[in-house]
Structure 1
Amino acid sequence: MSEPVMDREVRRRLAVLRHVEEVTGNVAMTCRYFGISRPTYYTWLRRYETEGVDGLRERSRRPRTSPTATRAEVIEKIIHLRQHYHFGPDKIRMYLERYHDIKISKSGVWRILKRLDMCRLPASQRYKRHDRRWERYEKQRPGHHV
């Protein structure tokens, strides 16, 4: 891979590795000079030796697995209860615990609904206060008969 095509971070890491080989020959001095730790240097060196220049690229820090993530079946039940029964997070939590023996927190249900953009019900399905729920009929003048 040519030098101009590589991104800035790869060039910097390659410069650190070359500085040890060509200039000082001392890892500790080079790490102090560039402001990195020695384990970081050895990580870059190991990747460079096994993968070449591509090993010096930035990698994702996202975990490969999430063992404590909510199972897909539970998420499907939450979606079903929200879409068909218009339950809120607390009622969904209570329903899952009572009828399916699934323990999940109210905030966990809310985070799942928020992630799926289902945290707010449509205006036609939201709770309305009792005084605004019905439009009251009033006669046009007192004593008017229907």
Structure 2
Amino acid sequence: MTKEERDIQRKLKVLRHTEKIGDAGKACRYFGIGRSSFYRWKASFERNGEAGLINAKPIPKNPANQTPPEIVEKVLYLRSKYHLG
């Protein structure tokens, strides 16, 4: 079982326990999580199902201001060949 799968199972366990007892505050105290985290998980689960419970990085995969790979390659070539920088 991967780390992502364990995280999803833990979050589902919290959500199911809350449905069973009917009190989010008690469930959060029992599992040691914050209410804001619980409600964020709940909203994400309602929107996207189990896929919404996957931990996602808050940054984009390819930032807009990232230097293009062609330029990085040229710079590295010049630095290695001519010892610039």
The structural deviation recorded for 1:67 is 4.0
Secondary structure in 2 matching 1:48: helix
Partner of 1:19 in structure 2?
17
Partner of 1:101 in structure 2?
none
- The change in CA–CA distance for 1:78 and 1:36 in structure 2 (over 3 A counts) is same
The structural deviation recorded for 1:12 is 1.4
2:72 is aligned, of 70, 75, 81, to 75
TM-score under structure 2 normalisation?
A: 0.69
The aligned amino acid for 2:7 is: E
1:29 has 2:26 as partner: yes
Count of paired positions: 80
Aligned-CA RMSD value: 2.4
The aligned amino acid for 1:13 is: K
- In 2, Cα distance between the equivalents of 1:76 and 1:9? 38
- In 2, Cα distance between the equivalents of 1:68 and 1:89? 24
Secondary structure in 2 matching 1:44: helix
**Unaligned residue ranges in structure 2 (runs of 5+):** none
Q: Which runs of 4+ in 1 moved over 6 A?
A: none
**Unaligned residue ranges in structure 1 (runs of 5+):** 1-6, 91-146
- In 1, Cα distance between the equivalents of 2:58 and 2:44? 19
Structure in which a larger fraction of residues adopt helix:
2
- In 1, Cα distance between the equivalents of 2:25 and 2:84? 55
Q: Percent identity?
A: 35
The structural deviation recorded for 1:78 is 0.9
TM-score under structure 1 normalisation?
A: 0.45
- The change in CA–CA distance for 1:52 and 1:62 in structure 2 (over 3 A counts) is closer
- Structure label with greater radius of gyration: 1
Deviations 1:7-27 (A, max 9, x none): 33222111111111111x222
- In 2, Cα distance between the equivalents of 1:40 and 1:89? 49
Secondary structure in 2 matching 1:53: helix
Deviations 1:8-47 (A, max 9, x none): 3222111111111111x22222112111111211111011
